[in-house]
Amino acid sequence: MIIGGIDIIALIASLMIASTPILLAALGEAVAEKSGVLNLGVEGMMIMGAIGGFAGAVATGSPVLGFVLGAVSGAGMALIFAFMTQVVLANQVASGLALTLFGLGLSALIGQKFQGIKPPPTPKLDFGPLADLPIVGPILFHHDWVVYLSLILTVAVWAFLKYSRAGLILRAVGESHTAAHALGYRVVAVRVAALTFGGALAGLGGAYLSLVRVPQWTEGMTAGAGWIALAIVVFASWRAERVLLGAYLFGGVTVLQLRLQAAGFAIPVQLLSMAPYVITIIVLVVISALQKRGSSAAPADLGRNFHASR
């Protein structure tokens, strides 16, 4: 199915791959923010996941171990942020920005000896006859396991937040940490767990960038993906199913601009490259304008530090 020189089936299939890193990072950040913590260090966690996953895969020859180490790297960065904001009660915005700068610098230092190296390939899952189905086969059944894991995690996060008791406690902590503490819930422990989970998913998304999306290590290769993930959480009103929609929207625009360039459309490359970010800004402005005055879907205690003595 080709329209205007663009293969629509290939476009949709590529969309799923391009969206996976941002979907993973945004899902993790949504959980962290639901607990009342604003972590602006997503970019730093992603880039550390990218170099951690790449180094792990190259050293062991196993892409699976690479993804595991990528998740561990992201979780480790999140624990640094958790210590700063939940233990010593540092400002969350400043700590998040510092975490991003730290991650960008440390990853560049570690990654110096990995430039120009190809990682071991991540194989696609074999679905047998399903992969040969017309239209549906190439779109849904020609991907690696991380793409499907991201979709499973979307459903799992949605169900966790909506139906589980632990999800209810996490949301209660985000809405009013004082009330949650009065009820006997361990606010700091809940927030540290949410941050660790979010960091692991951001690291996994970063590892996907360096092992699958762009199978090589390049300094600063996240290129703002962490900031887009933060924007998508706001666009999604902190709901997992809308995070999926927002990530696929951004991924679709990203892939489309590449396909337009390849098809030879007479559009300046600079305009095409900035299109995903411009559309993200426009969507956020529209969402903000449509919200009723005085109402917000954000957790009430988002960005506020908690101290048990209060």
For 180-218, b/e burial (b = at least 16 CB within 10 A) is: bbeeeeebbebbbbbbbbbbbbbbbbbbbbbbbbebebb
For 12-48, b/e burial (b = at least 16 CB within 10 A) is: bbbbbbbbbbbbbbbbbbbbbbbbbbbbbbbbbbbbb
Predicted local distance difference test score (pLDDT) of residue 90? 93
Query: What's the 3-state SS for 153-220?
Result: HHHHHHHHHHHCHHHHHHHHHHHCHHHHHHCCCCHHHHHHHHHHHHHHHHHHHHHHHHHHHCCCCCCC
Mean pLDDT of 224-244: 89
Predicted local distance difference test score (pLDDT) of residue 83? 96
- Structure-model confidence comparison of residues 278 and 169, the more confident one: 169
Cβ atoms of residues 156 and 140 within 8 Å: no
Least reliable range by pLDDT among 38-42, 227-231, 282-286: 282-286
Question: In this structure, is residue 304 part of a structural domain?
Answer: no
Token representation of residue 94: 């400043």
Residue 102 to residues 42, 98, 106, 179, 267, Cα–Cα distance (Å): 12, 6, 6, 34, 37
Question: In this structure, is residue 300 part of a structural domain?
Answer: no
- CATH code assigned at 64: 1.10.3470
Q: Is the pLDDT of residue 301 over 60?
A: yes
Mean pLDDT computed over every residue of the chain: 87
Predicted local distance difference test score (pLDDT) of residue 223? 85
Per-residue pLDDT tens digits for 94-144: 999 999 999 999 999 999 999 889 999 999 888 888 888 888 888 888 899
**What share of the chain in percent tops pLDDT 90?**
60
E strands in the chain: 2-3, 6-7
Question: In this structure, is residue 308 part of a structural domain?
Answer: no
The count of structural domains within the chain is: 1
Question: In this structure, is residue 23 part of a structural domain?
Answer: yes
Q: Is the pLDDT of residue 260 over 80?
A: no
Predicted local distance difference test score (pLDDT) of residue 294? 47
Domain of 155, in residue numbers:
2-290
Per-residue pLDDT tens digits for 146-203: 999 999 999 999 999 999 999 999 999 999 999 999 999 999 999 999 999 999 999 9
Which three-class secondary structure state does DSSP give residue 265?
Answer: coil
- Structure-model confidence comparison of residues 97 and 278, the more confident one: 97
Cβ atoms of residues 75 and 199 within 8 Å: yes
Predicted local distance difference test score (pLDDT) of residue 267? 62
Cβ atoms of residues 30 and 232 within 8 Å: no
Q: Is the pLDDT of residue 303 over 60?
A: yes
Question: In this structure, is residue 49 part of a structural domain?
Answer: yes
Predicted local distance difference test score (pLDDT) of residue 36? 94
Per-residue pLDDT tens digits for 45-86: 999 999 999 999 999 999 999 999 999 999 999 999 999 999
